[in-house]
Chain A
Amino acid sequence: MASTVIGAGIVIEGEVESDEALVIHGTIRGKIDSKESVAVEQGSTVEADVSAREVTVGGNLTGNVTAEGRVVIATGARLIGDVKAARFTIQDGAQFKGHVDMDV
């Protein structure tokens, strides 16, 4: 159970800082900074630069993503932006446009 859940009806314009898991069903425009995982769930819209330990994209994410660990774009999801992460997975059927830096 994630500690912070942004529901489908919620719109945040600004900065979100967290040191616990963040699950987003709603809309965030701005910036997300988490020391834990960030899950952009199906149906959500995120227009923000995201920095987290781990990022899973199931919805629409526009912005640059930086993760210490893994970034996953799930089937049916879309990520437009640059990814800097140790591990990066694009599942079959996901959409991605941007630059990837895996620090190799």
Chain B
Amino acid sequence: MKQETRRDLGGRLVERPEAGQRIGKGTRIVGRVTGDGDLTVEGRIEGELGLRGRLVVAPGGLVAAPVSVESVVVEGTIEGDVEARDSVQLRASGAVQGSIRAQRFALEDGARFTGRIDMDVELPAELGGQ
């Protein structure tokens, strides 16, 4: 991950160029988005999204793509399967259509969800567990 200090074109010092990155509400990306760092999506991403970091889909934001991240907070909409190495939080304003695979998944009252949920749960012996 690049973390060197640099100046932007306005001469302002940018300490961590990967910080504060976001897709604003007037922006639409069609294709593949990958990389490091946290990302806030207020606009649209259609295609594929893979992030070593935390994803926030803000209210009004739409991610129509399979999503692979460290963790994700959904206040907007995800249409696609979500795989999180850590946690998925689906907030009251959020919606997910697709399967969730995560260590932890929190589904808040009011949130809309259609799909399968797969948390690493140890099953009791009568359900085929060890």
Contacts and interface: CB of A to CB of B under 8 A. Distances in A.
Interface of A: 2-20, 22-23, 25-26, 30, 36, 39, 41-43, 56, 58, 74
A9 B30 contact: no
Interface residues of B, number: 34
A11 B1 CA distance: 12
Contacts of B21: 5-7, 9-10, 25-26
B26 A4 contact: yes
Nearest to A59: B9
Contacts of A11: 32-35
22 contacts: A3-B26, A4-B23, A4-B24, A6-B21, A8-B17, A9-B37, A10-B33, A10-B34, A10-B35, A10-B39, A11-B34, A12-B31, A13-B31, A14-B29, A14-B30, A14-B31, A14-B32, A23-B8, A39-B9, A41-B17, A42-B6, A42-B7
Contacts, number: 115
Contact of B9 (A9, A20, A58): A58
B114 interface: no
Contacts of A2: 24
A58 B27 contact: no
B31 A10 contact: no
Nearest to A15: B30
Given A18-B28, A42-B6, A42-B8, 14 more contacts: A3-B24, A4-B27, A6-B21, A6-B23, A8-B1, A10-B18, A10-B34, A11-B34, A14-B47, A16-B29, A36-B26, A41-B8, A42-B7, A42-B9
B31 A41 contact: no
A24 B27 CA distance: 13
B17 A25 contact: yes
